Structure 1
Amino acid sequence: MQVSDDYVRDVIHAVNEKGLDALDPKWNGGRPPAISLEVREHICLIAKTVPAEWGITGHSTWSLRTLAEHLITRGVVAAISREHLRRILRNGGVTWQTTTTWKSSTDPHFIAKMQRVLDLYDHPPADGRVICLDEFGPLNLMPRKGKRWRPAGSPARLRATYNRYNGVMHMIAALDLTTGKLYYRIRTRKRWREYLSFLKTLACAGPARSCM
């Protein structure tokens, strides 16, 4: 057990005085936490905000140091170290993550239009087809990073880009939701002429064959 002679001597004396009950471990709760559960939850709520919401300029996000100083200044805690703050956030499910972006439409009728489109998906017309049309481009020749086993600290290298001697390409595509068939055209330019030409192709390929 890798214990000292003094420890063995103390155990023998304890057994002589109290019997075998002296061998049972006497676990205690330890020192009570200096920061209560309510304060910990409050810290996690503050961490999920941004400094600008508290009138703090010069910082777009919280660092552990800035957050700790803010908590002390507002009287949330009397003192807290960065490592203690890190543990509180980790136990509260708050982690450092990359911010994602999103866009919303400025059209005041966007919700009504969206509901009409979704209803068209769920209830397509009996005498027609629902086709989703979109454009994508320009298409560039670019390598896609993958994963593979490599020695630690020695990742595989992949060239970041290629020469574009022949320019770029654009793709206009449509998906027939009834048949699952995909129609597409790849062109060197993406103008209304190419878009209109593709629409005429879709009209000719439709069930009614209404070529324009």
Structure 2
Amino acid sequence: MGRPGPRLAELVLSDHERQVLGAWVRGQSTPQALALRARIVLACAEVEPDGLPRSVSSVAVVTGVTTETVSKWRSRFLRDRLDGLGDAPRPGRVRTVTDEQVAELVRTTLETKPKNATHWSTRSMAERVGLSQSTVSRVWRAFGLQPHRAESFKLSTDPFFVDKVHDVVGLYLDPPERALVLCVDEKSQIQALDRSQPVLPMMPGVPERASHDYLRAGTTTLFAALDATTGKVIGSLHRRHRTAEFKKFLAKLDREVPAGLDVHLICDNYATHKTETVKKWLLAHPRFHLHFTPTGSSWLNLVERWFAELTDKKLRRGVHRSVQALERDIRAWVADWNTNPRPYVWTKTADQILESLAGYIRRIKDSGH
């Protein structure tokens, strides 16, 4: 029988310490390493049936770690209590960039521009503030600064902007019963373009390549109505873009939409939609109701999102030697879309949209708001 080891120092927890350690063990966001150390300390605070402190070896078995690990964190807790369970600072390179230098770099990025450019680069900023290019890059990433990027926006000047937003968004979020909500617009001047030289197909390591110049073969206009609920599209192609063509498209909608349904059309403010001819047609077809998006707010019309998909997936890289070929491709794409339509789900309320736009206005100097 070997000689007994040294008697363990008693580890007694206060109510506060026990509560904190328990919270660390149960917390879903607690780092796993800290949760394990908390379990070790809680196990060490238990006593054996004979009233002696729990042995290091038994705690190691319960927690699944080595006896060395148990001894380490037991000693750290006895010395520093809860503070002893954190990771000690590791040796590393001495920091050379001060908080003042970081603040000056951020201020310069946000409030100034270089003399010979519209925006800062990491190289020009490093020269300006006297830091390395990699340091500038790290600070910009940390603060989410991207001087090389710029996004566009446009605020509507429509005096009835608020009312129109509530009207259109209300149709998306709470459509009327026994009615169809159609997002209507025209994609005009779609060009049939033929490349001046044959397109080189994609190869391993080489993308598809096409000549930058092209031959124009004519244009067509696509009138489209997107069902806001199902995502199906009713389309019509015309060589011209006048009231006569829009009236023909309305007649097509009248034929294809079941007679028992009202039809709510979401349109933009293009003059073709407001002519006397169209107004007379609407009076003769009272189940049709036009709802206009605010001026300069095409983003409110869901059919614009569908036009973007058509452009990206079919038109931008398409090669068409004639308008007829272009129109065949568009009709085929619309028919394929309608075999498996995917509706665009509108989620923001009108109040959320107006609050977001108010934030833009507050950031514009001399906006009058």
Give the one of 34, 40, 60 matched to 2:118: 60
Question: Residue in 1 aligned with 2:251?
Answer: 200
Aligned to 1:40: 102
SS in 2 for 1:198: helix
Equivalent residue, structure 2, for 1:187:
238
CA 1:90–1:128: 2 relative to 1, 3 Å: closer
Check 1:185–1:112 CA distance in 2 against 1; reply closer, same or farther (3 A cut): same
Question: Which of 122, 127, 130 is the equivalent residue of 2:173?
Answer: 122
1:41–1:92 CA contact under 8 A, matched in 2: no
Q: In the alignment, is the contact (CA less than 8 A) between 1:141 and 1:161 conserved in 2?
A: no
- Alignment equivalent of 1:160, drawn from 212, 215, 224: 212
Cα distance, 1:44–1:187 mapped onto 2, change above 3 Å: same
TM-score normalised by length of structure 1: 0.62
Larger RCO (CA within 8 A; separation ≥ 6)? 2
Q: Residue 150 of structure 1 corresponds to which residue in structure 2?
A: 204
Summarize deviations over 1:76-113 as a string: whole Å, max 9, x none.
Answer: xxx32334323432454444644232222111321321
**Partner amino acid, structure 2, of 1:43:** L
Normalising by the residue count of structure 2, what TM-score does the alignment of the two structures yield?
A: 0.39
Distance in 2 (CA, whole Å) between partners of 1:50 and 1:162 is 42
Q: Which residue of 2 aligns with 1:22?
A: none
1 CA distance for matches of 2:112 and 2:207? 35
Counterpart Cα distance in 2 of 1:49 and 1:138: 42
Gaps of 5+ in 1: 1-26, 72-78
**Partner of 2:303 in structure 1?**
none
**Which stretches in structure 2 are left out of the alignment for 5+ residues?**
1-89, 263-283, 286-369
Letter in 1 for 2:179: G
Which protein is richer in helix relative to its size?
2
Matched with 1:172 is: 223
Corresponding residue to 1:106 among 154, 157, 163 = 157
Q: 1:181 to 1:63 in 2, by over 3 A?
A: closer
Matched-pair contact (CA < 8 Å) for 2:223–2:236? yes
The answer to whether the 8 A contact 2:119-2:147 is kept is no
Residues 172, 159 of structure 1: CA spacing in aligned structure 2 closer, same or farther, 3 A cutoff? same
How far the C-alpha of 1:28 sits from its partner, in A, is: 3.5
The one-character-per-residue Cα deviations of 1:110-163 (angstroms, maximum 9, x if unpaired) are 1321121111112222232211101112212459x9x95534xx5542233542
1:48 CA drift (Å): 4.7
For 2:231 and 2:139, locate their aligned partners in 1 and report how far apart those are by CA, in whole Å: 50
Count of residue pairs brought into register by the alignment: 169
> 1: distance between equivalents of 2:190 and 2:245?
16
Secondary structure at 1:140 match in 2: strand
Matches within 5 A, 1:8-27: none
Matched letter for residue 168 of structure 2 = V
Q: Which amino acid aligns with 2:97?
A: I
